[in-house]
Amino acid sequence: MTAARLGYLAALPFVTGAALAWWGGGETHALAVRALVAYAAVVASFIGAIHWGLGFAQTAPRASLFLWGVVPPIVAWLSLLAAPAAGLAVDAVLLVTCYLVDRAVYPQQGAERWLPLRMRLTVLAGASCAIAAAAG
Protein backbone atom coordinates (compact mmCIF):
# COMPACT_ATOMS: atom_id res chain seq x y z
CA MET A 1 0.00 0.00 0.00
CA THR A 2 1.44 3.35 -1.05
CA ALA A 3 0.15 5.25 1.99
CA ALA A 4 1.77 2.80 4.39
CA ARG A 5 5.13 2.93 2.61
CA LEU A 6 5.08 6.72 2.52
CA GLY A 7 3.92 6.86 6.14
CA TYR A 8 6.83 4.73 7.29
CA LEU A 9 9.21 6.76 5.15
CA ALA A 10 7.86 9.89 6.83
CA ALA A 11 8.51 8.25 10.22
CA LEU A 12 12.24 7.93 9.51
CA PRO A 13 13.06 11.50 10.64
CA PHE A 14 11.39 10.73 13.99
CA VAL A 15 13.43 7.58 14.58
CA THR A 16 16.64 9.15 13.27
CA GLY A 17 16.12 12.27 15.37
CA ALA A 18 15.59 10.24 18.52
CA ALA A 19 18.70 8.16 17.85
CA LEU A 20 20.82 11.24 17.21
CA ALA A 21 19.43 12.92 20.32
CA TRP A 22 20.85 10.05 22.37
CA TRP A 23 24.01 9.17 20.48
CA GLY A 24 24.95 12.41 18.76
CA GLY A 25 27.28 14.63 20.68
CA GLY A 26 27.35 18.39 21.04
CA GLU A 27 26.14 20.13 17.91
CA THR A 28 24.71 16.91 16.42
CA HIS A 29 22.54 16.40 19.51
CA ALA A 30 21.36 20.02 19.51
CA LEU A 31 20.57 19.98 15.78
CA ALA A 32 18.76 16.64 16.03
CA VAL A 33 16.54 17.85 18.88
CA ARG A 34 15.70 21.15 17.16
CA ALA A 35 15.01 19.35 13.89
CA LEU A 36 12.79 16.80 15.61
CA VAL A 37 10.71 19.47 17.35
CA ALA A 38 10.23 21.22 14.02
CA TYR A 39 9.39 18.03 12.15
CA ALA A 40 6.89 16.95 14.79
CA ALA A 41 5.24 20.37 14.52
CA VAL A 42 4.95 20.00 10.74
CA VAL A 43 3.49 16.50 11.06
CA ALA A 44 1.00 17.59 13.74
CA SER A 45 -0.12 20.42 11.44
CA PHE A 46 -0.59 17.91 8.62
CA ILE A 47 -2.66 15.67 10.89
CA GLY A 48 -4.86 18.62 11.81
CA ALA A 49 -5.27 19.52 8.14
CA ILE A 50 -6.74 16.10 7.44
CA HIS A 51 -9.79 17.21 9.40
CA TRP A 52 -10.17 20.21 7.13
CA GLY A 53 -9.94 17.86 4.14
CA LEU A 54 -12.66 15.67 5.62
CA GLY A 55 -14.81 18.77 6.09
CA PHE A 56 -14.14 20.10 2.60
CA ALA A 57 -15.33 16.80 1.12
CA GLN A 58 -18.82 17.33 2.59
CA THR A 59 -21.62 19.67 1.64
CA ALA A 60 -22.65 20.29 5.26
CA PRO A 61 -19.63 19.52 7.45
CA ARG A 62 -19.62 19.75 11.22
CA ALA A 63 -17.82 22.85 12.46
CA SER A 64 -15.91 20.65 14.91
CA LEU A 65 -13.83 19.26 12.03
CA PHE A 66 -12.48 22.72 11.26
CA LEU A 67 -12.18 23.69 14.91
CA TRP A 68 -10.12 20.62 15.80
CA GLY A 69 -8.10 21.03 12.62
CA VAL A 70 -6.52 24.25 13.94
CA VAL A 71 -5.67 22.87 17.39
CA PRO A 72 -2.67 20.71 16.39
CA PRO A 73 -0.85 23.47 14.46
CA ILE A 74 -1.37 25.99 17.26
CA VAL A 75 -0.11 23.61 19.94
CA ALA A 76 2.75 22.53 17.66
CA TRP A 77 3.70 26.18 17.12
CA LEU A 78 3.83 26.64 20.89
CA SER A 79 6.10 23.60 21.13
CA LEU A 80 8.54 25.39 18.84
CA LEU A 81 8.70 28.29 21.30
CA ALA A 82 9.49 26.08 24.29
CA ALA A 83 12.85 24.73 25.36
CA PRO A 84 13.67 21.81 23.01
CA ALA A 85 13.12 18.98 25.53
CA ALA A 86 9.84 20.54 26.68
CA GLY A 87 8.78 21.06 23.06
CA LEU A 88 9.40 17.40 22.32
CA ALA A 89 7.33 16.38 25.33
CA VAL A 90 4.49 18.63 24.14
CA ASP A 91 4.76 17.15 20.65
CA ALA A 92 4.68 13.58 22.00
CA VAL A 93 1.49 14.30 23.93
CA LEU A 94 0.02 16.19 20.97
CA LEU A 95 0.63 13.35 18.52
CA VAL A 96 -1.02 10.83 20.85
CA THR A 97 -3.92 13.21 21.48
CA CYS A 98 -4.38 13.64 17.72
CA TYR A 99 -4.60 9.88 17.33
CA LEU A 100 -7.17 9.61 20.13
CA VAL A 101 -9.30 12.30 18.49
CA ASP A 102 -8.92 10.59 15.11
CA ARG A 103 -10.00 7.30 16.67
CA ALA A 104 -13.31 8.98 17.52
CA VAL A 105 -13.69 11.08 14.35
CA TYR A 106 -12.48 8.81 11.56
CA PRO A 107 -15.27 6.21 11.94
CA GLN A 108 -17.86 8.99 11.73
CA GLN A 109 -16.20 10.20 8.52
CA GLY A 110 -15.82 6.78 6.87
CA ALA A 111 -12.04 6.80 7.35
CA GLU A 112 -11.71 4.10 10.01
CA ARG A 113 -9.64 1.86 7.72
CA TRP A 114 -6.73 4.28 8.27
CA LEU A 115 -6.71 3.90 12.05
CA PRO A 116 -4.35 0.89 12.26
CA LEU A 117 -1.74 2.73 10.19
CA ARG A 118 -2.32 5.93 12.18
CA MET A 119 -1.78 4.02 15.41
CA ARG A 120 1.51 2.48 14.26
CA LEU A 121 2.82 5.81 12.96
CA THR A 122 1.71 7.57 16.15
CA VAL A 123 3.56 5.05 18.29
CA LEU A 124 6.74 5.60 16.25
CA ALA A 125 6.44 9.38 16.22
CA GLY A 126 5.24 9.87 19.79
CA ALA A 127 7.78 7.44 21.24
CA SER A 128 10.57 9.06 19.24
CA CYS A 129 9.67 12.49 20.60
CA ALA A 130 9.46 11.16 24.17
CA ILE A 131 12.75 9.29 23.83
CA ALA A 132 14.49 12.36 22.43
CA ALA A 133 13.01 14.55 25.18
CA ALA A 134 14.46 12.16 27.76
CA ALA A 135 17.89 12.61 26.17
CA GLY A 136 17.86 16.19 27.41
**pLDDT digits over 35-89, tens only?**
999 999 999 999 999 999 999 999 999 999 999 999 999 999 999 999 999 999 9
Q: Cβ neighbours of residue 92 under 8 Å, at least 6 residues apart?
A: 40, 126, 127, 129, 130, 133
Q: How confident is the model at residue 111 (pLDDT cuts 50, 70, 90)?
A: very high
pTM of the predicted model as reported, rounded to 2 decimal places: 0.94
Residues 36 and 14 sit within 8 Å (Cβ to Cβ): yes
Distance, CA of 53 to CA of 72 (rounded, Å) = 15
Report pLDDT digits (tens) over 10-40.
999 999 999 999 998 889 999 999 999 999 9
What is residue 37's predicted lDDT score, i.e. its pLDDT?
97
Distance, CA of 96 to CA of 129 (rounded, Å) = 11
Residues 111 and 104 sit within 8 Å (Cβ to Cβ): no
What is residue 25's predicted lDDT score, i.e. its pLDDT?
83
Distance, CA of 116 to CA of 132 (rounded, Å) = 24
